[in-house]
Amino acid sequence: MKKVFKVFIVAFSLFTAGNISAQCDTIANLCAKHLEAKFISDGQQYRALLLSTDETAEFHSTFYGGSTYRIAACSGLTDGNLVFSIFDEQRNMIFTNSEYKNAPYWDFKVTSTLDCIIEAKLDARNQGSGCAVILIGFKQ
Amino acid sequence: MTAKFLKLRDYVLLLSVVSIFSFGCGTSEKNDKESAAEPLDSTASNILNVNGQIFSIPSPIQTAMMIKQSGANYNKEMLNSAQNSSTYSTSFKKALNLGVYGADLGYVTIYEQTQDAISYLNSVKKIADDLGVSGAFTPETVNRFQKNLGNKDSLLALVSVGYRASDAYLKNNDRSEVSGLILTGGWIESLNFAVSVLKIKDNEEVKRRIAEQKSSLNSLIKLLNANYSQPEYAQLVDALQDLSKVFDGIEFKYSYEKPTVDLDKKLTIINSKTEVKISAEQVQAISEKAKSIRNQIVG
DSSP β-ladder status, B273-277 and B251-255:
antiparallel
CA distance B103 to B193: 9
Per residue in B105-158, pLDDT (tens digit) is 999 999 999 999 999 999 999 999 999 987 788 888 888 998 998 899 999 999
Neighbouring C-beta atoms of residue A117, cutoff 10 Å: 15
Beta carbons of B171 and A63 less than 8 Å apart:
no
Non-local CB neighbours of A23 within 8 Å, separated by 6+ positions: A130, A131, B5
Secondary structure letter of residue A98 according to DSSP: G
**What percent of chain B clears pLDDT 90, i.e. is strictly above it?**
72
Rounded to 5 degrees, φ, ψ at A111 are: -75, -50
pLDDT category, A22, cuts 50, 70, 90? confident
Mean pLDDT of B228-253: 98
Whats the size of chain A, residue-wise? 140
pLDDT score of A129: 84
Whats the size of chain B, residue-wise? 299
Picking from B133, B191, B190, B193, the residue whose alpha carbon sits closest to that of residue B162 is B133
**B177 or B30, higher pLDDT:** B177
Asked whether B161 and B59 are in contact (CB, 8 A), the reply is no
Least confident stretch, B37-51, B62-76, B124-138: B37-51
CA distance B102 to B162: 10
CA A95 to chain B, closest CA, distance in angstroms equals: 8
Mean pLDDT of B169-198: 93
Neighbouring C-beta atoms of residue B115, cutoff 10 Å: 8
The whole domain housing A7 covers 2-139
Secondary structure letter of residue A84 according to DSSP: E
Say what the ipTM of the complex is: 0.88
DSSP β-ladder status, B267-270 and B260-262:
antiparallel
Within B201-279, where are the H helices?
204-211, 214-225, 231-248
**A53 or B273, higher pLDDT:** B273
| pLDDT greater than 90 at residue B272 | yes
Least confident stretch, A108-117, B18-27, B145-154, B203-212: B18-27
CA distance B271 to A114: 10
Non-local CB neighbours of A119 within 8 Å, separated by 6+ positions: A56, A57, A58, A84, A85, A86, A87
Q: A93 — contact with chain B (CB < 8 Å)?
A: no
| pLDDT greater than 90 at residue A21 | no
pLDDT category, A4, cuts 50, 70, 90? low
| pLDDT greater than 70 at residue B251 | yes
Least confident stretch, B38-47, B78-87, B251-260: B38-47
Residue in chain A nearest B213 by alpha carbon: A62
pLDDT score of A13: 52
Residue in chain A nearest B272 by alpha carbon: A112
Q: CB-CB: which of B9, B56, B266 is closest to A103?
A: B266
Neighbouring-strand partners of residue A136: A71
Q: A100 — contact with chain B (CB < 8 Å)?
A: yes
* Domains held by chain A: number: 1
Q: How far is CA A82 from CA A6, A57, A70, B234, in A?
A: 36, 11, 15, 37
Mean pLDDT of A106-128: 93
CA angle (B175, B293, B214) in 5-degree steps: 80
Kindly report the CATH number assigned to the domain that includes residue A123. Answer: 2.60.120.380
Beta carbons of B19 and A8 less than 8 Å apart:
yes
pLDDT category, B279, cuts 50, 70, 90? very high
